[in-house]
A = this chain, B = another copy of it.
Amino acid sequence: MKITSVQNDRVKYWNSLKEKKNRDRDRRFLVEGDHLINEAKKQNLIVETISMVDETADYYVTKEIMEKISGQKSISYNAAVVRFIPEDSITGKTIILDNIQDPANLGVIIRSCIAFGFNNIVLSDTSVDLYNPKVIRATEGMIFHINVLRRNLKEFIPILKNLGYKIVGTDVLSGEDVRNIKIDDMAIVMGNEGQGLSDDVKKMCDQFVYIKMNKTCESLNVAVAASILMYEVSHE
Contact = CB atoms under 8 A, between A and B. Distances in A.
Interface of A: 104, 108, 111-112, 114-117, 138, 140, 142, 145, 179, 211-214, 216-221, 223-224, 227-228, 231, 234-235
Contacts of A224: 108, 111-112, 223-224, 227
Given A228-B228, A228-B231, A221 B116 contact: no
Contacts of A227: 220-221, 224, 227-228
B221 A108 contact: yes
Contacts of A112: 217, 220-221, 224
Contact of A115 (B115, B138, B217, B223): B217
A138 to B, nearest CB: 7
A32 B223 CA distance: 24
Number of this chain's copies in the assembly equals 2
Contacts of A115: 211, 213-214, 217, 220
25 contacts: A108-B221, A108-B223, A111-B217, A111-B220, A111-B221, A111-B224, A112-B224, A114-B214, A115-B211, A115-B213, A115-B217, A117-B214, A140-B218, A142-B217, A145-B216, A145-B217, A179-B235, A212-B235, A213-B234, A221-B223, A221-B227, A223-B223, A224-B227, A227-B227, A228-B231
Contacts of A217: 111-112, 114-115, 142, 145
A56 to B, nearest CB: 28
Nearest to A113: B217
Nearest to A141: B218
A118 to B, nearest CB: 9
Contacts of A142: 216-217
A57 to B, nearest CB: 25
A9 B115 CA distance: 51
A235 B214 CA distance: 12
Contacts of A140: 218-219
Which of A145, A216, A221, A228 has its CB near the most chain B CB atoms (within 10 A)? Answer: A221
